[in-house]
Structure 1
């Protein structure tokens, strides 16, 4: 047993670190959501921010867009040219994806300063990519509403998780101490 633990020490450390960071960040985020009363920023600050920024970007690229709080659920409605096309819910704000990203990077940590910078830069890249994803998805749903399932459930999740995967691979191959230690 000791031999197996020694042999797979890096793998075990990765799994434990990943689970600890993921657990702490997820619990922290859930506490934030429970404490968010939604009175000033409905349904919560991050979801509201993503909806407002999506609205701004849609208007910037030529659509007549507006957002409204959804009357029946904790979400923001995206309306383009008077047509309800999508809703921004808590899961659309990229926080859960960023938590997953950060957990992996910390579990495969490199030098402290480099890890911290990459966590920050990667989070911004994921957030921005997610925002662009929602804008394109909203425009796509406006023009092609019959493609809702494939756009929302296949193409756009594949793009956001693909981007996270590429960020992970770049990190592991370029900066991680663990890979260099095993090489």
Structure 2
């Protein structure tokens, strides 16, 4: 009777193992930069957000608060928002990658993950740009966009990519 559940249990076990390995690796990564302020990946996102905002005529400066591990976005010489480690979407990415590799399908798994990570990176940068612009131009909507609208963007992107993976790759019959 338990043999019927072997495929499902295998997928679940792969997901849990990959998730825990990635989670611990990420925590090790964060710990290695604890005294330096924001970690390099989060800092790269911060710099890309500033570049895009400057490109779209929203002049932006950054203020590093190393002690509190955050960077403030300054627009019109005042702080608008701050970038902290949690804004980098790594927790969502770890969940995403674990799910995709739980349904491993060879080389195409790595290609799909690479393309998806690039798409999620771009979505996250644009999400932060959008939040900064809304906070600057329409501060009354800041809480709603931060708590509901922009998380829906990043989580919605992940769910859409999961559905694409399952429908077109993971469950596709290899013979057809």
* Paired residue secondary structure (2:69): coil
The equivalent residue for 2:124 is: 130
**Of residues 24, 30, 34 in structure 2, which corresponds to 1:33?**
30
2:38 and 2:66 in contact (8 A); partners too: no
1:173 aligned residue: 167
SS at match of 1:43: coil
Matched, 1:114 2:108: yes
Structure 2 counterpart SS, 1:68: strand
Say whether 1:64 aligns with 2:59: yes
Q: CA deviation at 1:55?
A: 0.6
Do the aligned residues in 2 keep the contact of 1:83 with 1:142 (CA within 8 Å)?
no
Question: Per-residue CA shift, 1:131-163, capped at 9, x if unaligned?
Answer: 010001100110111212210010000110000
Partner of 1:48: 43
Unmatched tracts of structure 2, length 5 or more = none
SS at the partner of 1:62?
coil
Distance 2:20 2:83 in 1: 25
Match of 1:8 in 2: 5
- 1:102 maps to which residue? 97
Matches within 5 A, 1:14-25: 14-25=11-22
Deviation (angstroms), 1:38: 4.7
Question: Is residue 144 from structure 1 mapped to residue 141 from structure 2 by the alignment?
Answer: no
TM-score (norm 1): 0.90
Residue 123 of structure 2 contacts residue 154 of structure 2 at CA under 8 Å; is this kept in 1?
A: yes
Is 1:164 paired with 2:131? no
Q: Compute the TM-score of the two structures, normalised by the length of structure 2.
A: 0.93
Moved more, 163-172 or 7-16: 7-16
Report the CA distance between 1:97 and its aligned residue.
Answer: 1.5
CA RMSD of aligned residues (A): 1.5
Q: C-alpha distance in 2, partners of 1:99/1:27?
A: 11
